[in-house]
Chain A
Amino acid sequence: GAVVSQHPSWVICKSGTSVKIECRSLDFQATTMFWYRQFPKQSLMLMATSNEGSKATYEQGVEKDKFLINHASLTLSTLTVTSAHPEDSSFYICSASLWEGTDTQYFGPGTRLTVL
């Protein structure tokens, strides 16, 4: 149980284009999902908290107009990187908690984004 998937697992795009990453909880409903990014040899940095049916909460320094998050259902959250640039190249990982008020986050396999 507690399986989280992400799609795509990797994507290469041209500078200036937008990329959408999906995060799904496969065997449970997730009221809250989290989005992280991880640069090589570094740890995970929280970008935003996504709650079903409401606006995402972004961490300080994360541009909400650049990283659009939508949590339309209890099993799906999406992250859209708009007008991507090479500096946005990173490993993006989502996580989900089993139910609201539960502390343990289960992580997806990650999406490798490369912007040329």
Chain B
Amino acid sequence: EDQVTQSPEALRLQEGESSSLNCSYTVSGLRGLFWYRQDPGKGPEFLFTLYSAGEEKEKERLKATLTKKESFLHITAPKPEDSATYLCAVQAYSNDYKLSFGAGTTVTVRA
């Protein structure tokens, strides 16, 4: 069974204070690892897909990296509008494009 563990559960940052979120996964045959952002009361918003170890993707202040056992989401010089819950999900070749989600990391950025 696919397992996704995200840490920390919650992260409080000062504006401009860079940090990283961790997503550890166990999956039989990784098709892709996904990062989403979810604001309260909204559906998840797609951020990145990573397919193979060593791959990196960037979008504004966010950068996602992937190893064979975990992924990191780096937030550089965060702003209050980066406050959200960040969800990590994995998709296995054996699982018909289904996503298995972690519990998420809730990031709060104070001005």
- Surface stretch bound by B, among A12-20, A61-69, A71-79, A101-109: A101-109
B78 interfacial contact with A, CB 8 Å = no
- The contact size tier of chain A is 20 to 34
Nearest-neighbor residue (CB-CB) of B51 within chain A? A103
Q: How far is the CB of A33 from chain B (nearest CB, A)?
A: 11
Max chain B Cβ within 10 angstroms of own Cβ: one of A49, A97, A105: A105
Q: Is the CB of A44 within 8 A of B44?
A: yes
- Give per-residue flags for A30-47: 1 if the beta carbon is below 8 A from chain B beta carbons, else 0: 001010000000111110
Q: Mark A73-89, 1 if CB is under 8 A from B, else 0.
A: 00000000000000000
Residue of A nearest to B31 (CB): A103
User: Which residue of B34, B44, B103 contacts A42 across the interface (Cβ within 8 Å)?
Assistant: B103
Number of interface residues of B (CB under 8 A): 22
What residues of chain B lie closer than 8 Å to A104, measured between beta carbons?
A: 32, 34, 46, 49
The answer to whether A43 and B41 have CB atoms under 8 Å apart is: no
The answer to whether A49 and B43 touch across the interface, beta carbons within 8 angstroms, is no
A109 → chain B closest CB, angstroms: 5
Closest to B48 in A: A104
Interface residues, chain B, CB within 8 Å of chain A? 31-32, 34, 36, 41-46, 49, 87, 91, 96-104
**Residues of A near any B CB (own CB < 8 A):** 2, 4, 6, 32, 34, 42-46, 49, 57, 91, 93, 95, 97, 103-110, 112
